[in-house]
Amino acid sequence: MSQSRPSFLIFDWDNTLIDSWACLHEAINITLDAMGHAPWSMDEVRTRIALSLRDHFPVLFGDRWEEARAVFYAAFKQVHLLRLKPLDGVDEMLSELNGRGFLMGVVSNKTGAYLREESDHLGWNGYFHRLVGATDAARDKPAPDPVRMVLEGSGIEAGRNVWFIGDAPVDMECAANTGCTPILLRPHPPKSGEFHSHPFRVHFKTPGDLLLYLESGR
């Protein structure tokens, strides 16, 4: 990939910057059990959880989705800070990018209040221009609304020089919907057809790889 230094870096949160699978697995299975559904394996959690709760739960639980939401949030609140863990190399990457003057923000489908609580717990708030989570904007990712919100006040508009960095197809779709450059950040390679509808521009396996690329000025 050849292009100038990006003007803004938008990061996904869960499983791009932090490891949240164990927390999600526990909370969703408590919810499924309470609602009379069979539990999910970790593989099912990894493949089925991408949209925000307000978009996904009505499909999964129908008219009882608000009841399921209450169960999920009660379970999630008990464990999310206890299990909060940055992915390897992320803390160093964010610190270095911040020191080099990169503007950064977060667009996540995690509820905004929990997102900002987790960032504060990790001491990361100073790295980000803004953290936008589910229900903060009129619509959630992959809609363009949260991208517009995260850029507010930066003087930067969505476009190719804004990178949207994430680990899942929904992140690449959000990048496509806003004209941003889609960047895949995760250790494992794409599955066949996983990103067929919304391809990524480049794949970095580690935060260190992304950092080295940006430091090179390519």
Average pLDDT, the chain: 92
pLDDT at 2 over 70: no
In this structure, of 24-38, 141-155, 199-213, the range with the lowest mean pLDDT score is 24-38
CA separation for the pair 212, 36 (Å, rounded): 48
**Angle at which helices 65-79 and 53-61 cross, to 10°:** 130
pLDDT band at 171 (very low <50, low <70, confident <90, very high): very high
Task: Identify the weakest region by mean pLDDT among 19-23, 107-111, 214-218.
Answer: 214-218
**Segment 105-131, tens digit of pLDDT:** 999 999 899 999 999 999 999 999 999
Helix (H/G/I), strand (E/B), else coil: 70: helix
CATH of domain 8-19+86-216: 3.40.50.1000
Between 51 and 145, residue with greater pLDDT? 145
Give 54-101 pLDDT, tens digit per residue.
Answer: 777 898 899 999 999 999 889 888 888 888 889 999 999 999 999 999
In this structure, what token pair is assigned to residue 196? 């067929």
